[in-house]
Amino acid sequence: MFDEIYHNRVLELAANIPNAERLANPDGSARKVSRVCGSVITADVNLDSEGKITDIGFEPEACVLGQTSCSVLSAHAKGKNLADIVAIRDAFKAMLKEGAPPPEGDFWELRHLEGVRDYPQRHTSTLLAFEALIAAMEAANEKQSANS
């Protein structure tokens, strides 16, 4: 299992998470916890008037797999809207659960987590950053709707 999942690129990505600090004044925040392993990821987000991410921050207290997906997500989320992030999460989830091809484009490095597909108990922590960011974006959208 170790070599299939925890290879060098996974460890490199996990050790170098962009935007790995909370935002001072986010439009939306969310904290997600994996009940299986205890990983916690908090996501903060600022959105423009079109709902696109202008700034992002994560506080990952997660396993290597959660940190790896957080790293890829954080590096490429700016400029994306909620529908974009949900579509990428869904493609990533299909890769893990159904053996679908990995996401393409900016998020191609999620392919380094293909080995996780054989370990369903690890899927929740691997998807945690996406779930936190989606919840933070939904909170930001609700806040914007309430203020308009």
Amino acid identity of residue 81, one-letter, is N
Cβ neighbour number for residue 77 with a 10 Å cutoff: 26
Architecture of domain 2-147: Alpha-Beta Complex (3.90)
Residue 58 pairs with which residues in a beta bridge?
A: 43
Mean pLDDT for all residues in the chain:
95
pLDDT at residue 35 greater than cutoff 60: yes
- Summarize pLDDT for 67-83 with one digit per residue, the tens: 999 999 999 999 999 99
What's the pTM value of the predicted model, to 2 decimals?
A: 0.94
Separation CA 46–CA 27 (nearest Å): 5
**Beta bridge mates, 42:** 31, 59
Sequence ranges of the domains in the chain: 2-147
Instruction: State the CB neighbour count (10 A cutoff) for residue 74.
Output: 20
The whole-number average pLDDT for the span 115-120 is: 94
- Rg, the chain, Cα only: 15
